[in-house]
Amino acid sequence: MAVQNAKPMIGYLATGILVLALLRFGQAIFVPLAFSVFVIALVAPLQIKLQRWMPQLLALLMTLSATIIIIVAVASSVTWGLSKLGQWLFVNARRFQEVYVHWTDWLEEHGIAVAGPLADRFDVTWLVGFTQGLAGRLNSFAGFALLVFVFVMLGLLETEDFGKRLRSPTLQPQGIKMLQANREISAKLRSFMLVRTFASVLTGLIVWAFAYIAGLELAAAWGAIAFTLNYIPFLGPFIATVLPTLFAIGQFDSWQMALAVFVGLNLIQFLVGSYLEPLLIGTSLAISPFAVIFSVFFWSFMWGVPGAFIGVPILIAFIIYCEKSAAAKWIAVLLSAKSFDDSGKAST
């Protein structure tokens, strides 16, 4: 009897492993598809409202135009910040190499050996190669953005018809449940991105002001980088903290000043990301912190930086669909930070 009960579990586990393997090795298609579904969930309500006043194609054009403008504006901020940083590094590469040699000598004097080949690579040639690699990544991002744009355009054209199909009697009651879940996911994702955008703008402004007061060069660039990377939970703020700290070591040649920059930036990230942002979101997106961290790192492992960005939206959609299913509702309860009463209903 126990063996018979174990067979379905083994089958589900094997199916899950195969699906994850497919998502991993087919990321060239699945990552743009996931991003397009995410974008459609955010902007579809805008197109539906516009269609009440104008033809569908014109509403689609206006929705796509607004989406492209926003994405380009956000991407341009980090591109501008990194370009300023790259220019500064080319001009001051020798200073960084001297600081690196000084620190490695100090570490070796205290019994901490550092690999010698690293010192040979830390020069202008290495910086040129790094910049070329970054340019290649930007070119691949252009192809990725084009594929997402095509998926979003086709998806927005199908949104209204897809809703009608979900309401057809043949798909009931699953169709209505899916429609309700999609609406709830769309509303929560819009709330999530609105709060995260506000937090990102606030973080960028505070980082710029802090860098300016601390005398750190490229203060505006650090603010722009912090603004954009704040959209990636945990990993983005970490990078936006470590980079200026390493930069401060090269500029000031002082571990005390670098430590002050590191502590100040971490304090900013903590106050905005760990206190203000959850306060603004409230209980509408109450998700277990462990589930959020796991989702970010799991999807970053699966799909890299795009996976880290979209990990939380995937988790939100997964929890909502589990809530709508009687068989999977226990998963939603485990992943949620809400408190439930004895009947299983979320308490306010």
**Distance in Å from the first CA to the final CA of the chain:** 42
pTM for this one?
0.78
User: How many other C-beta atoms are found inside a 10 Å radius of the C-beta of residue 58?
Assistant: 12
Residues 6+ apart with CB under 8 A from 230: 196, 199, 200, 203, 204, 236, 237, 240, 272, 273
Q: Between vectors from CA 320 to CA 319 and to CA 324, what angle results, nearest 5°?
A: 115
Tokens of 165: 């199909």
In angstroms, the CA 234 to CA 273 distance is: 9
The pLDDT of residue 129 = 53
The pLDDT of residue 179 = 86
Report which of 208, 236, 209, 213 is spatially closest to residue 223, judged by C-alpha positions: 208
Cβ atoms of residues 338 and 347 within 8 Å: yes
User: How many other C-beta atoms are found inside a 10 Å radius of the C-beta of residue 29?
Assistant: 11
CA distances from 230 to 12, 188, 325 (A): 36, 19, 33
The pLDDT of residue 175 = 82
Q: Over the range 138-154, which residues count as b (16 or more CB within 10 Å of their CB) and which as e?
A: eeeeeeebebbbebbbe
Q: Return the SS3 of 346.
A: strand
Residues 6+ apart with CB under 8 A from 250: 92, 95, 96, 99
Burial class of residue 187, CB neighbours in 10 A (0-12, 13-18, 19+)? middle
The pLDDT of residue 285 = 67
Residues in the chain: 348
Residues of the chain short of pLDDT 70, as ranges, are 1-9, 11-12, 93, 95-142, 278-285, 337-348
Q: Between vectors from CA 51 to CA 45 and to CA 54, what angle results, nearest 5°?
A: 145
